[in-house]
C-alpha cells in the first residue's frame, strides 16, 4: 500500500518507481521470509494489463506494461510469485481496479472532476475523456483485502477486485454533474493527456474469482459512491489545490 501510484509522475521519474515499488516489495517479501509463515497480501493493479483485446478481463490475461508505473507493478507481482515458488512464502495477490472515495489524492480523475465542480470551475480542465474504467468504492476494496488476509484459498492465487461495470471519463463527468447539481463545459488540456501508446483504453473486471474464493462482491453503486465522495470533498475542499494539475 506504500507504492507510488501516479502514472503521469512515472513518466518523469521512472527510477523512483522502481526503487519504491520493486525494492519496497522485495523488503516486505524478505521480512515475510525471515519472520515465518504470515500471509502476505500483495497489492497489484489492473494497469498491468494495458489495453485488453477482450473483455471482461480475467486473472490469466497476459500482462503488458504501457507505463513505467505498470512495469514496476508487474515486476513486483513477479517478485511475489518468485518468493512463493522459491521460499514457500504464503502470498495472496489482489488486483484492484480503480478504487475511489473520500480522501483520495487529486492525482486521480474523480477528485479532479469533483473538486473543480465543487469549487465552481467552468470549464473543467481534464485529460482524455474516452478511456473507460471499472470504479470500486474504497470500502468495498478494503473489504476485499480483509477477506484475502483471512482466506487460505486465496494463497497462491491472483484475485481481481472490480465491479464488472465500466464508465468513460465523459460519462463520469455527467454523473458527477448530476450529483453536484451543475452543468459545465469540459476543456481537454494536452498536458493532462497520456501518450497514445501508454493510455489504457478500457478496464473491466471479471470478479467471479473474488466471489467464489473470498465471498466478495461490491456493495456500493457508482451513483451512491459518487454522492458519498462528493459530500466528503465538499467538507474538505480546502485540502485540495483545485487549479493545480497534480502529477
Rounded Cα distance between 48 and 67, Å, is: 9
**CB-based contacts of 214: which residues, under 8 Å, 6+ apart?**
144, 147, 148, 151, 154, 159
- CA nearest 89: which of 150, 147, 34? 34
9 is catalytic: no
Q: Which of 61, 69, 100, 240 is catalytic?
A: 69
**CB-based contacts of 125: which residues, under 8 Å, 6+ apart?**
116, 187, 189, 192, 245
Is the preceding omega at residue 189 within 30 degrees of 0, hence cis? no
**CB-based contacts of 30: which residues, under 8 Å, 6+ apart?**
none
User: Catalytic site residues?
Assistant: 69
Amino acid at each position: 500500500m506504500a507504492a507510488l501510484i501516479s502514472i503521469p509522475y512515472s513518466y518523469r521519474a521512472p527510477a523512483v518507481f522502481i526503487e519504491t515499488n520493486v525494492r519496497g516489495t522485495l523488503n516486505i517479501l524478505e521480512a515475510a521470509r525471515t519472520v515465518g509463515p504470515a500471509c502476505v497480501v500483495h497489492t497489484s493493479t489492473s494497469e498491468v494489463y494495458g489495453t485488453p483485446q477482450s473483455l471482461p478481463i480475467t486473472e490469466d490475461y497476459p500482462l503488458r506494461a504501457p507505463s513505467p508505473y505498470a512495469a514496476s507493478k508487474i515486476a513486483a507481482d513477479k517478485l511475489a510469485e518468485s518468493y512463493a515458488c522459491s521460499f514457500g512464502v504464503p502470498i495472496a495477490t489482489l488486483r484492484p481496479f480503480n478504487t475511489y472515495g473520500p480522501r483520495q489524492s487529486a492525482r486521480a480523475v474523480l477528485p479532479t472532476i469533483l473538486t473543480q465542480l465543487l469549487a465552481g470551475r467552468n470549464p473543467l480542465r481534464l485529460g482524455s475523456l474516452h478511456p473507460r474504467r471499472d470504479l470500486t468504492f474504497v470500502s468495498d476494496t478494503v473489504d476485499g483485502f480483509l477477506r484475502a488476509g483471512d482466506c487460505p484459498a486465496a494463497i497462491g492465487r491472483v484475485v481481481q477486485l472490480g465491479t464488472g461495470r465500466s464508465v468513460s471519463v465523459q460519462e463520469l463527468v455527467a454523473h458527477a454533474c448530476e450529483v453536484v447539481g451543475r452543468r459545465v463545459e469540459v476543456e481537454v488540456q494536452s498536458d493532462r493527456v497520456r501518450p497514445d501508446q501508454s493510455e489504457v483504453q478500457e478496464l473491466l473486471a471479471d470478479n467471479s474469482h473474488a466471489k467464489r474464493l473470498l465471498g466478495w462482491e461490491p456493495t456500493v453503486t457508482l451513483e451512491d459512491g459518487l454522492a458519498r465522495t462528493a459530500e466528503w470533498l465538499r467538507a474538505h475542499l480546502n485540502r485540495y489545490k483545485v487549479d493545480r494539475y497534480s502529477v
